[in-house]
Amino acid sequence: MEIGYSVIIYTILVLMLVSYVFMRKHKRKFNGKLRLPPGSMGLPYIGETLQLYSQDPNVFFTNKQKRYGEIFKTHILGCPCVMLASPEAARFVLVKQAHLFKPTYPRSKERMIGPSALFFTQGDYHMRIRKLVQSCLSPEALRAIVPEIERIVVSMLDSLDHGQVINTFHTMKKLSFDVGILTIFGGKLEERYKVELKKNYFIVDKGYNSFPTNIPWTLYNRAIQARKRLSEILSEIMHERRKKGEVEKDLLGCLMESRDEKGELQLNDEQISDNIIGVLFAAQDTTASVLTWILKYLGEDPKLLEAVKVEQMGIYETNECGSQPLTWAQTRSMTLTNRVILETLRMASIISFTFREAVADVEYKGFLIPKGWKVMPLFRNIHHNPDFFSEPDKFDPSRFMNAPKPNTFLPFGSGVHACPGNELAKLEILILVHHLVTKYRFEVVGYQTEIEYGPFPVPRHGLPARLRRAPGPSA
């Protein structure tokens, strides 16, 4: 307990110091002609950090919007922030004036993944990496790996201890990790490398959101050591490929063979490792969270579940009761299931907001956003605004029979930093839902209303559920 209190006191003192220095440095901005957005900066030095973490973050932001409007200021985690809760403001920051707002992450998280990873970078380097990643995650590239993703899904479902209660979120994390490995390394990665990558990755994953105290035996320290091991493993894999003269069309191969206009290699091994680990992170927790919420929503609505099953059984029977593999065209024909995915992305809003930092003083609608302030477009607030989505707290996939208004649906972000893996995530989800509803019966254990954050929102305890094989011809 003494150690816990010491950490809390130390954290507060650090936040107070950072806040004091920052406010002194930028004091001149409060005396200009433009006024700051309305809002509260909270207590001296520590701001409203305690309020944010003592309640559901979504409640915190929603209450602020109700009181101050669609643009307001606050002070959290040692940083003055401007929150934006309108589609126009989100587009302003992420698309129209994106050059005025840089991505910003805590230094500890950059160190954990790697500073050269796609989502930490800007400019020409960012665009080069983004094009490489997009080329490997395009519909054309994904079409070729549908059978392999299906094999992973079938193997995972078969391996579960049927009838026993599972932690849905943890199960889906393992699935997403295996799909990520397939996408990055193709289907030829040796089993010993898979085992080592998985072991060390999950150590890093566990320490990613821990308090960044780099002393022996802490979660953060163990994660840093595992991160070093991941780089070593990736270097070994790259060395073997070069030794064999292998040129693969998977993501690793694209990064390794990337060349500039002079024909020279563009990326060193450290940059490649950072981006591989970054893709693993981006591909795992978010997709696993969406899958978990989909099963929750389907489990709570028997009529919707039955309608999804009817759609999927039509494809199942066309494929001779599963004896033929799914095709890319079939996954594109799952219209109801796709609407369920879209409504889950809106309702759960896995990415509730994103962080940017103003690189200059910016004026927006008569307000000043000072240089150095954090700027947070609030996706969830937009997704739950009744002006754009009627009865926003009701799960209703039919609302996506028509396209939402521009900039009101941003589950993967927007602009040059939008998630490039959204099609892979949807494909994985469609394949999982197909096999789950045609071959199995699942039930959520207990009444799930509470949410936990780690950092993405998931039902409490990872949605405990029980899975059984379906009787009859679909078994």
Greater confidence, 263 or 319? 319
Structure confidence at residue 169 (pLDDT): 94
Task: Provide the pLDDT for residue 414.
Answer: 87
Percent of the chain with pLDDT over 90: 60
The CA-CA-CA angle for residues 294, 466, 306, to 5°, reads: 50
**In the chain, what are the domains?**
1-111+352-383 (3.30.43.20)
Q: Each residue of 390-406: pLDDT tens digit? A: 999 999 999 999 999 99
Q: What is the pLDDT confidence band of residue 16, given thresholds at 50, 70 and 90? A: low
Rounded (10°) angle between helices 422-439 and 146-159: 50
Which tokens sit at 336?
A: 């109801």
Q: Please, are residues 375 and 84 in contact by the beta-carbon 8 Å criterion?
A: yes
In the chain, how long is the greatest CA-to-CA distance? 74
Residue 335 in this model has a pLDDT that exceeds 90 = yes
Taking only the tens place, the pLDDT of each residue in 347-389 is 999 888 888 999 999 999 999 999 999 999 999 999 999 999 9
Going by pLDDT thresholds of 50, 70 and 90, the confidence category of residue 73 is very high
Query: Does residue 419 have a known ligand-binding role?
Result: yes
Q: 141-150: per-residue pLDDT in tens?
A: 999 999 999 9
pTM of the entire structure?
0.87
Checking DSSP bridges between strand 165-167 and strand 356-358, what pairing results, if any? Answer: unpaired
